[in-house]
Structure 1
Amino acid sequence: MPVHRPGSTRRHTLTALLVTLLSALALTLPLSPADAATTPARGSAYMGMGVLAHDGRDGSPTTGDATQTEGVDVASYQGNVAWSTLWSSGVKWAYTKATEGTYYTNPYFAQQYNGSYNVGMIRGAYHFATPDTTSGATQANYFVDHGGGWSKDGKTLPGALDIEWNPYGDACYGKSASAMVSWIADFLNTYRSRTGRDAVIYTATSWWTQCTGNYSGFASSHPLWVARYASDVGTLPAGWSYYTMWQYTSSGPTVGDHDKFNGALDRVVALANG
């Protein structure tokens, strides 16, 4: 017949309770090394990084090329870009990632930004926004101070704000729709005060709908660069009746994401000149 020592039942009960508490606690602990490995390193984000994961697939536009001008956008992961090859293939304009948050500058920015200009392209710079790290004004100033400025030379496009899915966490960066709109306005207003130009807004309709409540108030002043990897551009964010640029694939020929400017080359020049 088994012998039960005094207090053994209580100890078993306490042990079971402790196991239950530890199991619950595990659900709230930081990510394990394996889980953390799936989160990209800060600074590695680029235009359209979340589009394939959240919004679509690669596609080929059905729009005729007669009134569309081919472009490309690049970031540090492309390294030194063969600009002459892209130029020969018909690419006439380009955007290069300059900054992210207030903690990152593209180490290949000079080769990419100046290299596109040197082969004859009309070029611009973009900023990958991280609204959960610093204010819109702070990031706009950082962008302008690190390559995102503008000059009326006929070959420099206004800076672009890349506002899309957060690759490092919550899709909307932990912000409500109204807080996100305020952050974007802070960035855009500061950029204009620094450069005299209204920044281009790069986004995807589904993200814009989810994270700004499909806000329409920026459409009258800011050119739209919409991301959609499909055969047509689809529904645009609220307020915009047409797109200025369309990122239609993440796997274009030679290198980079490829884009269509909604107009002939003289319209690209017009945007550059303001």
Structure 2
Amino acid sequence: MPARSHRWVSRTTASAVVLACLAALHTPATAAPATAAPSEGSADHSAGSQIAMHEDAAPVDTADLVVNGPTVPGMDVSSHQGDVDWPHWWGQGKRFAYVKATEGTGYRNPKFGQQYDGSYQIGMVRGAYHFALPDRSDGAAQANYFVDNGGGWSPDGRTLPGTLDIEYNPYSDDKCYGLTPEAMVAWIRQFSDTYRARTGRWPMIYTSTLWWDKCTGRGGDFTVTNPVWVARYADSVGPLPHRWAAHAIWQHTSTPIDQDLFNGTMDDLVALARG
């Protein structure tokens, strides 16, 4: 009797295994859940953060910079810097600052007030910038979000026009956000036109020559309307993005903080602020 019982159990177990295998063959495979795109502002994307990653940024000694004519030292910040010690940077000779306000249509810099107002109170000429995500929403939507959340302008001689920061995609390997050069130019123009309609000023455009020429295909001309703020971490500003003959601002290093040079005198900087 024990032997028969043992054989019955073995046959039953084997049958169960066979049935389970057959059932698995006829069960539709379940698709792996799609990976959601990271949310806007899930990381702190400051001006040049992606350019530094893609273009091999290296520290540059300000004593080695090659400049022609007068310049005004400045800086730019985002929430990454937290509460900025503005008296310290004023003492270091910085006379203007750009502060990140927004990204896409879903992120606002939580330190914007301390940074934007603090730079103004210490005596700097200040402005705000928007980190563009052209694959998330159109240029008009992002320009309106920017203006509604700190990116406006006033003719007080202390407020620079807002800046469109457009650079490598921080959320994927698609450097140009899936847009053709023609679509990218159209997106930038829509942002620029909307900002102009809202504030009366054309925005400055922040970018790098390598990114701009690749992702616009050297097909757009914004030189008549939009000053360019170029990022290049080297001892000279180098070639400018397509068609610009002169730059307004040069971001020359991100060490120990993003540092910039305005291309002109303090009077020229104030004139740019006044429009």
Number of the residue aligned with 1:82: 85
Greater Rg over alpha carbons, structure = 2
Q: Name 1:183's counterpart in structure 2.
A: 187
Map of 1:231 onto structure 2: 235
Q: How far off is 1:40 after superposition?
A: 9.5
**d(CA) in 1 for partners of 2:178 and 2:123?**
41
| Counterpart amino acid of residue 127 in structure 2 | G
Match of 1:95 among 83, 94, 98: 98
Q: Tell me if the contact between 2:250 and 2:262 (Cα under 8 Å) persists in the aligned partners.
A: yes
CA pair 208-154 structure 1, distance change in 2 beyond 3 A: same
Task: State the TM-score, normalizing by the size of structure 2.
Answer: 0.83
The letter for the 1-side match of 2:138 is S
AA aligned to 1:102 is T
Letter matched to residue 269 of structure 2? V
Q: Which runs of 5+ in 1 are unaligned?
A: 1-7, 16-20
- How big is the shift at 1:264? 1.3
Partner of 2:56: 56
**Alignment match of 1:171 (pick from 167, 170, 175):** 175
From 151, 155, 158, give the equivalent of 2:161: 158
- CA spacing shift, 1:237–1:168, aligned 2, 3 Å: same
Q: How far 1:64 sits from its partner (Å)?
A: 4.5
Q: What TM-score, normalized by structure 1, do the two folds share?
A: 0.84
2:251 to 228, 247, 250: 247
Within-5 A mapping of 1:203-242: 203-242=207-246
In structure 1, how many angstroms separate the alpha carbons of the residues matched to 2:244 and 2:229? 10
- 1:217 and 1:101 map into 2 onto residues whose CA distance is 24
Whether the aligned pair in 1 keeps the contact of 2:67 and 2:236 (CA below 8 Å) is: no
In 1, Cα distance between equivalents of 2:65 and 2:80: 29
Shift of 1:198: 0.7
* 1:261 aligned partner: 262
Provide the alpha-carbon RMSD of the alignment. Answer: 2.6
Q: Per the alignment, do residues 136 and 40 of structure 1 end up closer, same or farther by CA in structure 2, a change over 3 Å counting?
A: closer
Aligned length: 250
Q: Does 1:112 align with 2:115?
A: yes
Could you tell me how far apart the structure 2 residues matched to 1:66 and 1:212 are? Answer: 30
Q: Which residue of 2 aligns with 1:271?
A: 272
Against the structure 1 CA distance between its residues 99 and 133, is the aligned structure 2 distance closer, same or farther, given a 3 Å change threshold?
same
The match for 1:136 is 139
Deviation at 1:187, TM superposition (A): 0.2
Q: How far apart are the structure 2 equivalents of 1:82 and 1:237?
A: 33
- Unaligned runs of 5+ residues in structure 2 are 1-17
What letter matches 1:44 in structure 2? D
**4+ residue runs of structure 1 moved beyond 3 angstroms?**
none
Instruction: Encode CA deviations 1:208-244: one digit per residue, 9 max, x unaligned.
Output: 0111102341111100000000111111111100111
| Higher deviation after alignment, 213-222 or 102-111 | 213-222
Alpha-carbon displacement from aligned partner over 1:20-49 (angstroms, at most 9, x marks no partner): x99xx99xx867xxxx99x99635211001
Cα separation, 2, equivalents of 1:111 and 1:65: 34
**CA distance 1:62–1:123, change in 2 (3 Å):** same
Distance 1:216 1:90 in 2: 36
Letter in 2 for 1:217: D
Q: Residue 201 of structure 1 aligns to a residue in which SS?
A: strand
What letter corresponds to residue 110 of structure 2 in structure 1?
P
Q: Secondary structure at the match of 2:49?
A: coil
Distance between the aligned counterparts of 1:41 and 1:103, measured in 2? 7
Matched, 1:195 2:196: no
Distance 1:133 1:41 in 2: 12
Residue-by-residue CA offset, 1:56-77 (whole Å, 9 max, x unaligned): 3232452358601101000001
